[in-house]
Amino acid sequence: MGWNGQPPLKPKLGASNMTMLPEASAIKLGLVIDLDICVGCQACVVNCKEWNTSGYGAPLSDADAYGAAPTGAWLNRVHAYEAGTGADARTVHFPKSCLHCEDAPCVTVCPTGASFKRAEDGIVLVNEDWCIGCGLCAWSCPYGAREMDPAEGVMKKCTLCVDRIYNDNLPTEDQVPACVRTCPTNARHFGDLGDPNSDVSQMVTARGGFDLMPEQNTKPVNKYLPPRPRRAADDTPVSLLSMAQDATPTGFWKWVDSTLEKLG
Amino acid sequence: MRPAWSIIFFTSLSGLGFGLAAWVVLGFVDLTNPQHLLGVGGATMALIVTGLLSSTLHLGHPERAWRALSQWRSSWLSREGVLAVLALAAMMVWGAYYVRHGMPPLWANIVVAALMALTVYATSMIYASLRTVARWHHPLTPICYLMFAASSGLLAVLWVLALLGQMAAAPLVLAAMLAVASAWGIKILWWQVAGAAGSGSSLASATGLGGLGPVRSIMPPHTSENYLQHEMGFVVARKSAAQLRVIALLLGGLLPLGLLFVMAPTALGFGVGLAAHMVGIFVERWLFFAEAKHSVTIYYGDTH
């Protein structure tokens, strides 16, 4: 068992000790990421690295960290895209981590049983004691959610902070994934996407949340919320000079203005 | 995709080994001389085992490789491991039977040869099962692997026959020529058909932002290359793919065919033909990886 009597962090021995996908779980823990709000500050990226280098499994190592070409294992990356053209183009910051897919190809391709999806809550994990570091799971993931640890030689991936969300030793407000806890703009949300009445599910319904690469048939649990429609732009050109000239001073500045005018 | 030498050697050598083994158990080489049985059996096993061991070289934890035999219910990589072990065991049983009783019955030979073919099929399915690499995810991919195993195995049979001083029957030489020609024919078809297969994914579907208009990457998420780009964003020599295909076809196809056609059936001629065929397969296998585009590169701005 994991700590606090919570679901185990390793696959159960016996008949279920196979990288077959479990029956779809009723509870589908995952993230909802709001592309309208994310400002690309990378705080989630850094806090993810910070928490996961000291939590579940081997540390998230870096290679050549202070050299010319540093590289390392990170479980969360924020891309930036431009969508649209001309005046309508907009910058969209795009966080990407494991989507904890219902039909996770990374689980079924694993030859050792190290890669598994929990029947209890749908979290996809890697048992690092069994992983041979063949990399096939990373090849099978369309999203690039898995990265090989350069020091440990095992596959690393988002654990949905399984060592936070069930951890009663932490204050309630900290029992969410590190990326969600740290997001300063509230662009990341954590919850049960298997429950249609949960906050995250309702957010997905209200905002038209969508799957990434639905054509890959992975059925991601994580959902993304689209940027909200843009408000109609005011076509009148804004001139700071005319604003300054037209401004009528009041109070102290009115006195300064009139005194200066008296001085000629 | 990054072409790892260990994987290129693994797939080509084990293909050659299983191909040769299949033709041998089907009775194309006379092994009544115990020395011949030992020599041919040993060489075949060496090829297969070298290939399999080579495949463990790229692992982060080779000492745990035995665990890869456990997940045959869902994983083609695991199935490949299990089948390879079964095929090697079947070979040894076949050899032991041969020593005691002579040639096993035809049905047993066919079963053992089918096990070899199934192993090669499983190797190919490791790649063909990946939806993320569109050109691999194609029904022709396993056929290519099986055809090259058959053609290299047949060329090896001809070489072995010449080495052992046994006369290769003219139909066998003709069959080898046919196998080499059709293997490369299928490969050309694969290059044309599977090579053109799109993944159906685009930056629009990858980001879900297609409704806003064209999407382009404006800033990478990190400042230096990461594992994903190193492993899946391999683009070196993609521009020379056309030349490399010609080299593969000349060395792997035309040279062995020419040697089979003009040369007297000497060990040297067949040996050079087999070597050239294998070099062609190495180049072909290198391109199989180097030209493959993985869907994750879409996130980094690659178009498919």
Lowest mean pLDDT among A81-90, A130-139, B233-242, B249-258: B233-242
Q: What pLDDT does residue A19 have?
A: 66
ipTM of this complex: 0.93
The answer to whether position A240 is within a domain reads no
**How close, in Å, is residue A230 to chain B by CA atoms?**
10
Q: What pLDDT does residue B235 have?
A: 79
Q: Which CATH number belongs to the domain containing residue A136 in this structure? A: 3.30.70.20
Q: What pLDDT does residue B205 have?
A: 95
The answer to whether position A262 is within a domain reads no
Does B219 contact A84 at a Cβ distance shorter than 8 Å? no
The answer to whether position B270 is within a domain reads yes
pLDDT in tens, A147-204: 999 999 999 999 999 999 999 999 999 999 999 999 999 999 999 999 999 999 999 9
The answer to whether position B82 is within a domain reads yes
When divided into structural domains, chain A yields a total of 1
The answer to whether position A72 is within a domain reads yes
Alpha-helical runs (H) found in B164-266: 170-193, 203-207, 227-232, 241-249, 255-262
| CB B23, CB B63: distance < 8 Å | no
B67, B224, B232 ranked by CB distance to A69: nearest: B224
Q: What pLDDT does residue A8 have?
A: 55
The answer to whether position B163 is within a domain reads yes
**How close, in Å, is residue B73 to chain A by CA atoms?**
7
The answer to whether position A157 is within a domain reads yes
Which tokens go with A25?
Answer: 């779980």
B227 in reach of chain A (CB within 8 A): yes
Residue B102 has pLDDT above 80, yes or no: yes
Residue of B nearest to A69 (CA): B224
Average pLDDT of the residues in B47-57? 90
Mean pLDDT of chain B: 93
Global confidence as pTM: 0.90
| CB A32, CB A189: distance < 8 Å | yes
A17, A131, A141 ranked by CB distance to B61: nearest: A131
Interface test with A, best of B10, B201, B228 (most A CBs within 10 A): B228
Does B75 contact A19 at a Cβ distance shorter than 8 Å? yes
pLDDT level of residue B150 (50, 70, 90 thresholds): very high
The answer to whether position A33 is within a domain reads yes
Question: CA nearest B180: which of B202, B213, B155?
Answer: B155
Which tokens go with A70?
Answer: 């540093």
Identify all chain A residues contacting B74, using CB atoms and an 8 Å cutoff: 18-21, 107-110
The answer to whether position B264 is within a domain reads yes
Q: Which CATH number belongs to the domain containing residue B131 in this structure? A: 1.20.1630.10
Domain of B291 in residue numbering reads as 5-208+225-300
pLDDT in tens, A53-102: 987 788 999 999 899 889 999 999 999 999 998 888 999 999 999 999 99
The answer to whether position A41 is within a domain reads yes
Average pLDDT of the residues in B267-295? 94
The answer to whether position B72 is within a domain reads yes
Identify all chain B residues contacting A111, using CB atoms and an 8 Å cutoff: 67-71, 75, 77-78, 81
E strand residue ranges, A13-161: 29-34, 62-63, 71-72, 76-83, 90-97, 115-117, 124-126, 147-148, 155-156
pLDDT in tens, B186-203: 999 999 999 888 888 999
Does A71 contact B230 at a Cβ distance shorter than 8 Å? yes
B221, B227, B295 ranked by CB distance to A79: nearest: B221
Alpha-helical runs (H) found in chain B: 5-25, 34-55, 76-101, 106-128, 140-163, 170-193, 203-207, 227-232, 241-249, 255-262, 267-290
Q: What pLDDT does residue B300 have?
A: 93
The answer to whether position A170 is within a domain reads yes
Q: What pLDDT does residue A233 have?
A: 67
Residue A5 has pLDDT above 80, yes or no: no
Q: What pLDDT does residue A1 have?
A: 35
Does A210 contact B208 at a Cβ distance shorter than 8 Å? yes
The answer to whether position B271 is within a domain reads yes
Domain of A137 in residue numbering reads as 3-225
Identify all chain A residues contacting B210, using CB atoms and an 8 Å cutoff: 83
| CB B227, CB B221: distance < 8 Å | no
Strand bridging mode A29-34 / A223-225: parallel
Burial of B253 (0-12, 13-18, 19+ CB in 10 A): buried
B74, B77, B201 ranked by CB distance to A216: nearest: B201
The answer to whether position A81 is within a domain reads yes
**How close, in Å, is residue A142 to chain B by CA atoms?**
5
Does B131 contact A20 at a Cβ distance shorter than 8 Å? no
A73, A132, A153 ranked by CB distance to B65: nearest: A132
When divided into structural domains, chain B yields a total of 1
Q: A262 or A239: whose pLDDT is higher?
A: A262
pLDDT in tens, B23-35: 999 999 999 888 9
Interface test with B, best of A94, A96, A117 (most B CBs within 10 A): A94
Q: What pLDDT does residue A12 have?
A: 54
Strand bridging mode A188-192 / B215-219: unpaired
Q: What pLDDT does residue B167 have?
A: 81
Q: What pLDDT does residue A2 have?
A: 41
Does B216 contact A20 at a Cβ distance shorter than 8 Å? no
The answer to whether position B230 is within a domain reads yes
Q: For chains A and B, count residue pairs whose Cβ atoms are closer than 8 Å.
A: 202
B303 in reach of chain A (CB within 8 A): no
Identify all chain A residues contacting B69, using CB atoms and an 8 Å cutoff: 111
